[in-house]
Amino acid sequence: MDFNAVAKEFVQYYYGVFERNRAELASLYRDPSMLTFEGNQFQGAGPIVQKLTTLPFQTVAHKITTLDAQPGPANALLVVVTGELLIDQETNPTRFTQVFQLISEGNTYWVFNDVFRLNYG
Amino acid sequence: MDFNAVAKEFVQYYYGVFERNRAELASLYRDPSMLTFEGNQFQGAGPIVQKLTTLPFQTVAHKITTLDAQPGPANALLVVVTGELLIDQETNPTRFTQVFQLISEGNTYWVFNDVFRLNYG
């Protein structure tokens, strides 16, 4: 497994779905999945996707600045993203950090850990 | 285990040692440990500590802005830090993101994953 290639493919897919239809992200989470979004904790695909689909904006664009990956324990894959968000009509990007930990299952991956933080300046 | 308390105690200890004597960080890493520092990869306590001890500054202060923790796979502990660095005589802080994944062993933890990124603006 080329873990850097998997990480890159995952984040491109994830942010593509996020920007097109957040509800479709449900397929990437399972019951044990955890999301910490700006310090608020959610567990399970249902609560996580409810949080993501009710974020108070209509459109968002993600620009990835850095992408790092490492193998995690138990064949997990740790993915660390820093980047910029453009929300709705905003022209000033907001920086963010997002960390995923993926669990492989057959030919696919699901999200075990998800931590999102805006980096205000 | 209160994983938030463990994460907070770990990062306070880690940055305290980092600021006092980087060579002492060797006790926190093992042969399988990985560090990705600004995109450069190192494996094992020796190479990791050599990198950390040869960073080109004399003094550094870390200010933690956000700290998030989640249980990882296989009883690991995922720790996500965003914050600011002050290096030597600099008065303008540089933002950073650092992600640790800790493995428990008895009453202590060692660092399996370590990803560090400066967030330039």
pLDDT of residue A120: 80
Q: Do A119 and B82 touch (CB under 8 A)?
A: yes
Q: Do A97 and B82 touch (CB under 8 A)?
A: yes
Which residues are B66's β-sheet partners? B82
For residue B83, give the nearest of A24, A117, A92, A90 by alpha carbon.
Answer: A117
Interface residue ranges in chain A relative to chain B, Cβ cutoff 8 Å: 34, 36, 39, 65-66, 68, 70-74, 76, 78, 80, 82, 95, 97, 99, 101, 103, 112-113, 115, 117, 119, 121
- The ipTM estimated for the assembled molecules is 0.96
* Tens-digit pLDDT string for chain B (121 aa): 699 999 999 999 999 999 999 999 999 999 999 999 999 999 999 999 999 999 999 999 999 999 999 999 999 999 999 999 999 989 899 999 999 999 999 889 999 999 999 998 6
pLDDT per position as a tens digit, A66-98: 999 999 999 999 999 999 999 998 989 999 999
For residue A19, give the nearest of A50, A66, A51, A52 by alpha carbon.
Answer: A52
pLDDT of residue B1: 65
CA distance B52 to A89: 42
Question: pLDDT under 70 in chain A at which residues?
Answer: 1, 121
pLDDT of residue A29: 98
Domains and CATH numbers, chain B: 3-119 (3.10.450.50)
CA distance A92 to A102: 31
For residue B4, the surrounding DSSP H or E stretch is helix B3-20
CA distance A53 to A19: 11
CA distance B77 to B79: 6
Of residues B36, B78, B97, nearest to A101 (C-beta):
B78
